[in-house]
Amino acid sequence: MSKELAFTDDNDVVKYLDTTTAFNLALTADGVAFDLTNAKSVLVKIANDDGYIMQQTIDLTTVTSPLGGTLSFPINQDIMNTLVPDDYDIEVWVTMKDGTQAIFPSDGTLGFSIEENLMSDTGEVIPTITLNDFQQQFDDLSSQMENAVQNVHKGDQGNPGNGIKSASNQYQLSDSPVTVPTGGWSDTILATTDQLPHLWTKIIFTYDDGTTKETNFVSSRGDTGSQGPIGPVGPQGKQGNGLVVRGKADKEENLPTTGNNQGDGYLVGTDLYIWIDGSWQNMGSITPDLADYVKVADMNNALNTKVNVTDMRKPASDVAGLEEVNAKQDKIGYTPADDSKVLHPTLIPLNSTDMNTVLTAGFYHLVSGTNGIPNGDNWTIYQVIPWGSTNGVQIAYETNNAILGIRSWNNSNHFTSWVQFADDSKVAHLSGKNNFDTVPTVNNNPLLLASSLPSDLARTGQDTNFTRKLQKSGIDVATTSDVSKAVNTATANMANTTKLANFTAGLQVNGKDVGTGGGDKLTTPWVVTNYQSTDTMGPHGCNEATGWRIYNDILYYYGYFYGATVSEAVIFNLYTAYPDFKKTFKTLGSSPELMHQTSSGFWAFNDWGNQMVGNEGNLLIGIKDTATPLSVNIVYPLDRL
């Protein structure tokens, strides 16, 4: 790549001590404006015929057209304090944010001059005088001096002197040769740098009376001296192993570190690295000096300005010369375009390039690169549109397929993912018809289409006629008619408490038949009576309150008796009061259900099977011969005739 450096206004001269002038420089590469948007620093280095002198840093905030590759180099007070009227050469060194460095121009340097001003010539104008007059005046002055010396009288003794007792030096670097620095001073001398080229020295004098005095003076780094004489020839070196070029590497870090022999060589780009004493040494570029050769591009450009005689369709006398054409163009009155601001359709080839590093405006053809658009190929065109020095977009155009994509970057190297433009013919729209090649999904679940739903699908918002049976968990679900039929069947023989019921099979309570007597069940109120024993009332009888009632043909009887010294009996005649019931109780025997034995006596239903004439249908309660009270409670279902 050829790099060029030129003045934009052809102004290359400045008067000495004129600090209001600035040189306007244009940087180009292969004839195209060099992009300064990603520049990290710009230095202007100055030299003369004796060698390198100084450098000046360009403030990047003053670069108003980074895409145009132009910058302003001000001639300030520091430069005028360093330079004197002379001819100088300059180079522009540009360091990019990725660490690469570009030096302008590639060939030679760009020159400028500092001319003397009227105050640069020193001296005075003297009048004309003859040699005899000058000799006479000199002799007179000599005689006067001799007489004055001979007639000098000795004066009085002066006061004791205040001599210098000691002196010490301190040093400090500065970027100014005029202003005394205010920073910290060093007791040892310091070496100047490109940024701090001036060495200030402070001498502190201490006098006999204890007072001190400081004196400052400054020195600047001088020009590079001329090359010294060639030294004597050294002794013969040891026999080497010769140079053997083993291969190539893409960068120095990838050179092999083991298995190397003295004299092994590798090429890194055009630089030759040789293994010497256990490490790789860069021997510099091995490309030939092309200064005496013509580049192909320059040759083609030169040929384009020539005309072959055999190609001319008119005599040479009828062909306008270049000067005539230029004269005609000057009269047309048009302004030529600034090539640095013209969009060129030329594609810039990129081979094995990371698209994250392509931040300069233009169109690019990427082959076997990285971080390009997914599914892109070697026929993809990339357009880069930077915005300022830190932001921009990259657009990809696939020429073999209908693939378009875009991504952006910010903070110089933070790229978003590629976003591929959708084919509008394959995008679902909010209005109009949309045809899908495959079934759409929501959360990875396919959508049900209207055409895929069965025609007899039941709707929850309206009545549905199920022509076949309905099931839940594999079990048939009963309909209203099924439930009604089952209820009618189940309740066909059930008694309704609000209606009369005919029990054709009989009625029982606690497993015992309930007598109906052919009519309604009997229910009576409680009847409280006093029943005497078989004996007359007195010391040997019992007389206590008793009571009874019948509820739904069930007899409820209670009694509380006092016995005497002999056994007593209480007789309850139910038949007399209710002749509808059977005259005799069932044979009861002596089961625990019918007999209750206590420590104070017992009671029981007696078996009326014995021919006890006159006692049919009577309830006989026997009382033991004791005076202990006896409590009786009887519940007995009655049998009707």
Q: What is the pLDDT of residues 227-259, one digit of tens each?
A: 888 888 878 776 666 677 888 899 999 999 888
Three-class SS of 462-518: CCCCCCCCCEECCEECCCHHHHHHHHHHHCCCCCCCCCCCCCCCCCEECCEECCCCC
Burial per residue of 397-408, b for 16 or more beta-carbon CB atoms within 10 angstroms, e otherwise: ebeeeebebbbe
The letter for the amino acid at 73 is F
Residue 149 binned pLDDT confidence (cut-offs 50, 70, 90): low
CA angle 79, 82, 83 (to 5 degrees): 80
Residue 250 shares a structural domain with residue 216:
no
Mean pLDDT computed over 196-225: 84
Instruction: State the sign of the Cα–Cα–Cα–Cα dihedral 182, 183, 188, 192.
Output: negative
What's the CA gap between 305 and 320, in Å, rounded? 13
Q: Is the pLDDT of residue 596 over 50?
A: no
Residue 533 shares a structural domain with residue 579:
yes
Residue 206 shares a structural domain with residue 281:
no
Mean pLDDT computed over 298-306: 63
What's the CA gap between 340 and 71, in Å, rounded? 14
8 A C-beta contact, residue 606 and residue 620: yes
Query: Residue holding tokens 């306008």?
Result: 320
Neighbours of 392 (CB within 10 A): 19
Residue 184 shares a structural domain with residue 262:
no
Q: Is the pLDDT of residue 589 over 50?
A: no
Residue 610 binned pLDDT confidence (cut-offs 50, 70, 90): very low
169 three-state secondary structure = strand
Mean pLDDT computed over 506-528: 63
Residue 539's pLDDT is: 36
Residue 535 shares a structural domain with residue 607:
yes
| Higher per-residue confidence, 349 vs 514 | 349
Q: What are the Cα distances from residue 632, in Å, to 382, 538, 597, 620?
A: 117, 21, 11, 12
Which residues, 6 or more positions from 522, have their beta carbon under 8 angstroms from its beta carbon? 550, 552, 553, 578, 580, 638
Q: How many domains does the chain have?
A: 5
Give tens-digit pLDDT for 383-434. 999 987 789 999 999 888 777 899 999 986 789 999 988 877 777 777 777 7
Q: Is the pLDDT of residue 89 over 90?
A: yes
Q: Domain for residue 122, yes or no?
A: no
Residue 309 binned pLDDT confidence (cut-offs 50, 70, 90): low
Of 285, 316, 335, at which residue does a domain stop? 285
Mean pLDDT computed over 497-521: 62
Task: Name the most confidently modeled range: 12-16, 337-341, 463-467.
Answer: 12-16
Residue 173 binned pLDDT confidence (cut-offs 50, 70, 90): very high
Residue 210 shares a structural domain with residue 276:
no
Q: Domain for residue 298, yes or no?
A: no
What's the CA gap between 80 and 120, in Å, rounded? 13
Which of 64-78, 88-102, 285-299 shows the lowest mean pLDDT across its residues? 285-299
Which of 41-45, 73-77, 441-445, 490-494 shows the lowest mean pLDDT across its residues? 490-494
- Pairing type for strands 101-104 and 86-96 reads antiparallel
Written as six digits, the tokens of 545 are: 């309150």
Residue 519 shares a structural domain with residue 625:
yes
Q: Domain for residue 131, yes or no?
A: no
Q: Domain for residue 53, yes or no?
A: yes
Residue 55's pLDDT is: 92
User: In DSSP terms, which residues pair with 14 in a beta bridge?
Assistant: 114
Share of the chain above pLDDT 70, in %: 67
Q: Is the pLDDT of residue 125 over 60?
A: no
Residue 319's pLDDT is: 62
Instruction: State the sign of the Cα–Cα–Cα–Cα dihedral 467, 468, 472, 476.
Output: positive
Mean pLDDT computed over 324-336: 61
Residue 105 shares a structural domain with residue 190:
no
Q: Domain for residue 398, yes or no?
A: yes
Residue 588 binned pLDDT confidence (cut-offs 50, 70, 90): very low
Residue 106 shares a structural domain with residue 23:
yes
Which of 156-165, 493-502, 585-594 shows the lowest mean pLDDT across its residues? 585-594
Radius of gyration of the chain (CA): 67
8 A C-beta contact, residue 555 and residue 635: yes
Q: Is the pLDDT of residue 540 over 50?
A: no
Which of 34-43, 53-62, 326-335 shows the lowest mean pLDDT across its residues? 326-335
DSSP 182-224: -S--BSS-----SS--EEEEEEEEEETTS-EEEEEEEEE--PP
Task: Name the most confidently modeled range: 34-43, 430-439, 463-472.
Answer: 34-43
Of 424, 455, 480, at which residue does a domain stop? 424
CATH for 24: 2.60.40.10
Of 408, 424, 440, at which residue does a domain stop? 424
Mean pLDDT computed over 176-197: 89
Residue 599's pLDDT is: 33
Task: Name the most confidently modeled range: 125-129, 160-164, 296-300, 619-623.
Answer: 160-164
pTM: 0.25
Neighbours of 622 (CB within 10 A): 15
Give tens-digit pLDDT for 368-397. 899 999 888 888 999 999 987 789 999 999
Q: Domain for residue 320, yes or no?
A: no
Mean pLDDT computed over 334-363: 79
What's the CA gap between 157 and 294, in Å, rounded? 86
- The DSSP element (H or E) to which 282 belongs, if any, is strand 279-285
- Pairing type for strands 13-15 and 110-115 reads parallel
Residue 568 binned pLDDT confidence (cut-offs 50, 70, 90): low
Residue 315 binned pLDDT confidence (cut-offs 50, 70, 90): low
Residue 28's pLDDT is: 93
From 12, 14, 26, select the one nearest 104 (Cα to Cα): 26
8 A C-beta contact, residue 426 and residue 418: no
Residue 622 shares a structural domain with residue 590:
yes
Give tens-digit pLDDT for 262-280. 888 889 988 999 988 889 9
Mean pLDDT computed over 540-559: 65
Q: Domain for residue 305, yes or no?
A: no
8 A C-beta contact, residue 622 and residue 601: no
Q: Write out the residue range of the structural domain in which residue 384 sits.
A: 347-424
Residue 627's pLDDT is: 53
What is the average pLDDT value for the chain, to the nearest integer? 75
Q: Domain for residue 268, yes or no?
A: yes
Which of 76-90, 118-132, 151-165, 174-188 shows the lowest mean pLDDT across its residues? 118-132
8 A C-beta contact, residue 249 and residue 266: yes
Residue 50 shares a structural domain with residue 99:
yes
What's the CA gap between 604 and 613, in Å, rounded? 20
| Higher per-residue confidence, 151 vs 488 | 488
Residue 588 shares a structural domain with residue 521:
yes
